Amino acid sequence: MTVKMSALSGIEGRKVDVLVVGGGNAALCAAIAAREAGASVILLEHAPRELRGGNSRHTRNLRAMHDRPEGVLVETYGEAEYWDDLLRVTGGETNEELARMTIRASAGLPAWMEAHGVHFQPSLTGTLSLGRTNAFFLGGGKALVNAYYQAAAKLGVEIIYDTEVTDLQLEDGTVRRVTAVSRGFPLTLLPRSVVVASGGFQANVDWLKEYWGEAAENFIIRGTPYAQGTILRNLLGQGVQQIGDPMQCHAVAIDARAPKFDGGIVTRLDCVPFSIVVDRDGKRFYDEGEDVWPKRYAIWGRLVAQRPGQIAYAIVDAKAAKLFMPSVFPAITGATISELANKLGLAPSTLETTISTYNKAVQPGNFDGSKLDDCKTMGLEPPKTHWAQTIETPPFIGYPLSPGITFTYLGVQVNERAEVLMQDGKPASNLWASGEIMAGNILGRGYLAGFGMTIGTVFGRIAGAQAARHARN
Amino acid sequence: MPDSQILVEARREMEICNACRYCEGFCAVFPAMALEREFSTPDLTYLANLCHNCQGCYYACQYAPPHPFGVNVPQTFALLREESYRQYAWPAPLARAFEKNGLVVALTTAGTLALVLLLIGTLTSPGTLTSAYSGPGSFYNVVPWAAMTIVALLTLLFSLSALTIGGLNFWRDAGKNLSLRSRDIALGLLDALTLKNLGGGGHGCNNSDESFSQSRRYLHHAMAYGFMACFAATCSAAFEAYALNLPAPYPLLSVPVVLGIIGGAGLIIGTSGLIRLKIITSRAPAATELFGADFALLALLWLAAASGLMLLAFRATDAMGTLLALHLGLILSLFVLLPYSKFVHGIYRTLALVRNAAEGSN
């Protein structure tokens, strides 16, 4: 098979069996698996080398089933419990067949990953609760991505950066031609098999605006700016079956001072349960103490997105200052409520009223930050049902909150062989998908820590192997 | 005194790291960092000296350049370490030796070589350097016993005092003046002697790209243990000369010579390898402005070891005088420069490891 392209890319005239679109975990697993199955492989990564790896570079662990302690994974985490966890967070919006296959396959992942250069470490401080279910990458997701790029390069995968695939030309369920822009030059490829692992569309603000209107302008994208959804939209426009609610995205409340893209983990704020949260008008709008933060943080992105200006402010006093992990940005402090209000740009009198009303509603109780305690308000609307303590000890501390978008749920439908399905239910003949572009098949709603990496690794390996087999036949 | 730019930058980066903590598994720096919520100047000095410059955290960092946060811990900490060498140097005016340290090391070495030649020229008869001598005390034909003893003793005593005072200054400040327990000293020394923290969590450190290797750790071992063997050779020779009244040179199968050969070989292997790694290393996580100081000490150690082995090889020939003068000039330079070169990192690193053991974050 011939490959045609611009002179700049240096791959003209090269024959290729498998083309991988994307450069994160799912793409790399596919490229490695395809190459190990004997195929020639080209991987096209939209980002430059320094920013390669998609959202994988912001991850840090992978959820793996294990029936006995293995490596860094302690105790046991069986299929039944894993499935229960998935069912709970998705509320049933999952494909049980694909989900169970993924869960079972996850048991073999850590060994495969280590064989390809990934190192693990015991779980991090502050994340001990995940030590049983999730294997942590030494150094985090970027170290994992580095290891895979090295493994892929060593195997002979050709990796081309700064190259955005713009079109997969589908005819009767077959990809005939692939068009890309490589370092500013047009590039056309004619691969035998194609694996799409190019992520969701969460960094495409114009697309988000289709569902969220102008509010999307105020969203912060926690991960890579390269998740533009170009290929997702391209495929859905050519008769590929879609899956997942296009309206939905995983949004958490993060520090509003975060950069527009790529702020990652350090912009998170865990203070909400110990605070009161007011909107731009200085008014509370939701029960901050509804549940422990890990179970509630995903709803706060949406809550803040629905407030005017998509902004809110968490306010605590000196008593609560050490109860949570702060974000990377300095706390905004005031000796008085009105000083803090001025610094936050809120009307001092409104904030003072909100806080004094709240303080009067706080009931005596035994404060315990580690569980659902009995500190609550009475006669307040909305109530604060746990960890309600008066806000009266200066200095007063405020953090601005914005919606931080992690990923989107919309994707292409696949089967258990990672084949992309057309609207008529038949698989495309030479097109496979892995990673966020198909994760909505299994994680249709909610969030399960480290599960995106599991899906990407399991389906990446399947997609790569299948694509190689097709190309070699 | 206002905080230096490097200190401000180190604080900014540690605040980012402390909100991330993905690097916790690499080395002692990140668990030690996680104990703090705010970073005082001594804390930052301590963390910078705890850093072994394995560079694992740079390659793993999602906030490394070109990310706008521009986190580059190995580079920032290398620069902050250099500031701490100046801050704790004794006597204070000599702290300036750390500015353009490569040049200082080179000029000092030129000076000590000249001094040795001058001493030989004035204290011995013409033709001494080019004559062959043999038997016990033959070295003293070239450099008189008293001159060698007095110069060596004075410089070494001064340097060891300066290193000790510098170490005490560091401990009072960056060591929080913690009371020293033998367990913590033992653990700190063990970490220093094994360079566990240069292992990047088990797989080694980064030399030129994302790939990992133990080579830097092993080369440093060759150099450091080689240095210690050479120092032991010097001490055992002094013991034989002064306590047992057996003047040098010693036979091939004597304690000083065997230790010297092993140590010299280790130094040559270690410094050659480390110089090579420093040449091929990626500039991105490096503090290239400090390369002069790094190369200078490596080169001085290499020259000292090579001249020592050459002296051993040719001590029975008429080249002995010249080689002895060269070797003693280089050793004198090394003695003088111990407190005013990259060598001091060993003292502060070990003390930082002792504080780390005392605080038990690892």
> Alpha-carbon distance B127 to B129, whole Å?
6
Interchain proximity A139–B68, CB inside 8 Å: no
Contact A335, B26 (CB under 8 A): no
Q: Indicate the residue of B26, B62, B69 with minimum beta-carbon distance to A57.
A: B62
**Of A28, A27, A64, whose CA–CA distance to A449 is shortest?**
A64
Segments making up each domain of chain B, as ranges: 97-159+198-346
In Å, how far is A250's CA from the nearest CA of chain B? 20
Interchain proximity B59–A142, CB inside 8 Å: yes
> Alpha-carbon distance A193 to A35, whole Å?
12
For the four alpha carbons of A398, A403, A405 and A406, in that order, the dihedral sign comes to positive
**Of B96, B78, B77, whose CA–CA distance to B87 is shortest?**
B96
Identify the band that residue A7 occupies on the pLDDT scale cut at 50, 70 and 90. Answer: very low
Over the stretch B224-261, which tens digit does the pLDDT of each residue have? Answer: 999 999 999 999 998 998 888 888 889 999 999 999 99
A122 touching B (Cβ < 8 Å): yes
Residues making up chain B, counted from first to last: 362
pLDDT at A3 over 60: no
Among A119, A149, A161, pick the best mutation site for testing chain B contact (most B Cβ within 10 A): A119
Q: E-assigned strands of A232-339? A: 242-243, 249-255, 276-279, 312-316, 332-334
Confidence (pLDDT) at A127: 60
Amino acid A471 reads A
Over the stretch A312-358, which tens digit does the pLDDT of each residue have? Answer: 999 999 999 988 887 899 999 999 999 999 999 999 999 999 999 99
Confidence (pLDDT) at A109: 97
> Alpha-carbon distance A390 to A387, whole Å?
10
> Alpha-carbon distance A438 to A450, whole Å?
16
Contact B28, A340 (CB under 8 A): no
Structure tokens at B345: 């990192």
A138: nearest CA partner in chain B = B25
Which three-class secondary structure state does DSSP give residue B113? helix
In Å, how far is A272's CA from the nearest CA of chain B? 17
B61: nearest CA partner in chain A = A142
A264: nearest CA partner in chain B = B62
Q: E-assigned strands of chain B? A: 205-206, 212-213
Q: Is the peptide bond before B74 cis (omega within 30 degrees of 0)?
A: no
DSSP state of A222: -
Contact B205, B54 (CB under 8 A): yes
B240 touching A (Cβ < 8 Å): no
> Alpha-carbon distance A427 to A413, whole Å?
9
Contacts of B63 in chain A (CB under 8 A): 264, 266
| Residue A255 CA to its chain's centroid (Å) | 17
In Å, how far is A157's CA from the nearest CA of chain B? 17
Contact B334, B297 (CB under 8 A): no
Which residue bears the tokens 């419990």?
A81
Confidence (pLDDT) at B126: 80
B302 touching A (Cβ < 8 Å): no
Interchain proximity B65–A50, CB inside 8 Å: yes
**Strand (E) or helix (H) holding A193:** strand A193-196
Amino acid A10 reads G
Mean pLDDT (whole number) for A279-289? 97
Contact B23, B56 (CB under 8 A): yes
Contacts of A259 in chain B (CB under 8 A): 68-69
Interchain proximity B65–A51, CB inside 8 Å: no
> Alpha-carbon distance A445 to A88, whole Å?
10
* Class of domain A7-241+409-472 as given by CATH: alpha beta
Interchain proximity A150–B57, CB inside 8 Å: no
Confidence (pLDDT) at A13: 52
Among B22, B63, B361, pick the best mutation site for testing chain A contact (most A Cβ within 10 A): B22
Segments making up each domain of chain A, as ranges: 7-241+409-472, 256-404
B37 touching A (Cβ < 8 Å): yes
Contacts of B20 in chain A (CB under 8 A): 140, 264-266, 328
Interchain proximity B57–A125, CB inside 8 Å: no
Which residue bears the tokens 């991988």?
A20
Which residue bears the tokens 């008085």?
A336
Interchain proximity A327–B19, CB inside 8 Å: yes
Contacts of A122 in chain B (CB under 8 A): 25
Contacts of A130 in chain B (CB under 8 A): none
pLDDT at A124 over 80: no
Which residue bears the tokens 């509320």?
A91
Residue percentage of chain A with pLDDT more than 70:
96
**Of B100, B98, B63, B59, whose CA–CA distance to B81 is shortest?**
B98
Which three-class secondary structure state does DSSP give residue A100? helix
pLDDT mean across residues, chain A: 94
In Å, how far is A46's CA from the nearest CA of chain B? 16
Interchain proximity B22–A124, CB inside 8 Å: yes
In Å, how far is A123's CA from the nearest CA of chain B? 9
> Angle of helix B255-280 relative to helix B291-313, nearest 10 degrees?
150
Structure tokens at A342: 């001025």
> Alpha-carbon distance A355 to A337, whole Å?
8
Residue A438 vs residues A60, A196, B342: alpha-carbon distances, Å: 20, 9, 54
Over the stretch A395-414, which tens digit does the pLDDT of each residue have? Answer: 999 999 999 999 999 999 99
Residue B282 vs residues B62, B210, B287: alpha-carbon distances, Å: 18, 10, 10
Task: Work out whether strand A332-334 and strand A396-408 pair parallel, antiparallel, or are unpaired.
Answer: antiparallel
Contact B65, B96 (CB under 8 A): no
Structure tokens at B17: 């790291």
In Å, how far is A54's CA from the nearest CA of chain B? 11
Which three-class secondary structure state does DSSP give residue A267? helix
Contact A1, A15 (CB under 8 A): yes
Confidence (pLDDT) at A8: 46
> Alpha-carbon distance B276 to B289, whole Å?
18
Interchain proximity A139–B56, CB inside 8 Å: yes
In Å, how far is B18's CA from the nearest CA of chain A? 8
**Strand (E) or helix (H) holding A349:** helix A348-361
Contact B201, B57 (CB under 8 A): no
B310 touching A (Cβ < 8 Å): no
A151: nearest CA partner in chain B = B211
pLDDT at A5 over 70: no
Torsion of CA B184, B185, B190, B191, to 10 degrees: 70
> Alpha-carbon distance B133 to A359, whole Å?
95
For the four alpha carbons of A188, A193, A196 and A197, in that order, the dihedral sign comes to negative
Cβ neighbours for B88, distance < 8 A, ≥ 6 positions apart: B166, B167, B169, B170, B173, B348
Out of A286-295, B261-270, B273-282, least confident range: A286-295
Over the stretch A151-195, which tens digit does the pLDDT of each residue have? Answer: 999 999 999 999 999 999 999 999 999 999 999 999 999 999 999
A131 touching B (Cβ < 8 Å): no
Residue percentage of chain B with pLDDT more than 70:
99
In Å, how far is A461's CA from the nearest CA of chain B? 23
Over the stretch B169-179, which tens digit does the pLDDT of each residue have? Answer: 999 999 998 99
Over the stretch A195-254, which tens digit does the pLDDT of each residue have? Answer: 999 999 999 999 999 999 999 999 999 999 999 999 999 999 999 999 999 988 999 999
pLDDT mean across residues, chain B: 94
Beta-ladder partners of A408: A249
Confidence (pLDDT) at A125: 63
Largest CA distance in chain B: 70
pLDDT at B141 over 50: yes
B202 touching A (Cβ < 8 Å): yes
Out of A21-30, A340-349, B30-39, least confident range: B30-39
Interchain proximity B26–A136, CB inside 8 Å: no
Identify the band that residue B360 occupies on the pLDDT scale cut at 50, 70 and 90. Answer: confident
In Å, how far is B13's CA from the nearest CA of chain A? 10
Q: Indicate the residue of B31, B59, B67 with minimum beta-carbon distance to A262.
A: B67
> Alpha-carbon distance A359 to A372, whole Å?
20
Confidence (pLDDT) at B362: 53
Contacts of A328 in chain B (CB under 8 A): 15-16, 19-20
> Alpha-carbon distance A131 to B24, whole Å?
14
Contacts of A126 in chain B (CB under 8 A): 21
B23: nearest CA partner in chain A = A139
| Residue A383 CA to its chain's centroid (Å) | 31
**Comparing A32 with A370, which gets the higher pLDDT?**
A32
Contacts of B33 in chain A (CB under 8 A): none
B57 touching A (Cβ < 8 Å): yes
Cβ neighbours for A281, distance < 8 A, ≥ 6 positions apart: A308, A347, A350
CATH number of B97-159+198-346: 1.20.950
B94 touching A (Cβ < 8 Å): no
> Alpha-carbon distance B169 to A383, whole Å?
56
Interchain proximity A149–B61, CB inside 8 Å: no
Q: Indicate the residue of B26, B34, B61 with minimum beta-carbon distance to A142.
A: B61
Question: Is 0.90 surpassed by the pTM of this model?
Answer: yes
Residue A112 vs residues A105, A250, B143: alpha-carbon distances, Å: 11, 29, 66
* Class of domain A256-404 as given by CATH: alpha beta
In Å, how far is B289's CA from the nearest CA of chain A? 23
Q: Indicate the residue of A139, A150, A262 with minimum beta-carbon distance to B23.
A: A139
B181 touching A (Cβ < 8 Å): no
Interchain proximity B24–A124, CB inside 8 Å: yes
Contacts of A124 in chain B (CB under 8 A): 21-22, 24
Phi, psi for residue A251 in degrees, rounded to 5: -125, 130
Confidence (pLDDT) at A441: 98
Contact A194, A431 (CB under 8 A): yes
DSSP state of A194: E
